[in-house]
Amino acid sequence: MVRKRQIPPAFCTFVLVFICIAMFLVETFMGGSENTATLVKLGAMNNYAVVAGHQWWRLITAQFLHIGIWHLVSNIVMIYYMGLIIEPMLGHWRFLLIYLLSGVGGNLLSLAFGSDKSIGAGASTALFGLFGAVIALGIRHRANPVVAYVGRQALVLAVLNLIIDIFLPNIDIYGHIGGLISGFLLAMMSGDRLGKGYNTKLRVIAAAIAIIYIVLTVRQGMVISF
């Protein structure tokens, strides 16, 4: 008899949470999660390093670093619960790609309009991408009361968090907005496992907007203030 081991519906979510925790432990042992030198060494966002140092990989690595224990806890709790909801809807690979690319998209907007001197880290860019993806799913499947409700809840959470961002210091609101936009567009383009996705015309429009977004943010981000 051949046994097949079932992959958990939220397998990628568990892996992402594990990586964030593991990297936080690495930060701690290398000098502390609030130590600037440690964060830079491990791949935190810094516009100078990305542009002048050609270290574009920081757009990805910064997603797995956190500054302080509460920063880590707040992000992984939300990633866990959002992942339990959206990963089964999207499928493992779509979910993972939307998560990672939303984080990149958020960091690109931060690169374009954020402070060139700041050090940025955190999974919240990718987390806002999940918000955007759920909103897109809720709109597409608005005839499904459960999915539509989850989409509305994601919209409320995203708006509330952005409002809070305005009043809190040291928060990268550009990264959050960029992640939200990226997740929405990526979910439109990638489809889902719930049935028929967005039509071809809307997918092409979403892809065109995504390309324009990348070009404009990279172009603006290349202008560094020394």
CA angle 183, 189, 195 (to 5 degrees): 105
Catalytic residue among 71, 110, 176, 190: 176
Short-list 191, 162, 166, CA closest to 179: 162
List of residues 6+ apart from 172 with CB closer than 8 A: 110, 114, 118, 120, 122, 124, 125
- Answer yes or no: 92 catalytic: no
Q: Considering Cα of 34, then 36, then 42, then 43, what sign does the dihedral take? A: positive
Short-list 20, 127, 130, 124, CA closest to 64: 20
- Answer yes or no: 176 catalytic: yes
Distances (CA, A) of 132 to 18, 26, 89, 205: 23, 30, 14, 16
Catalytic residue among 124, 141, 182, 190: 124
List of residues 6+ apart from 95 with CB closer than 8 A: 12, 13, 83, 86, 87
Rounded to whole angstroms, the Cα distance separating 51 from 89 reads 36
Contact 180, 129 (CB under 8 A): yes
Enzyme catalytic residues: 124, 176
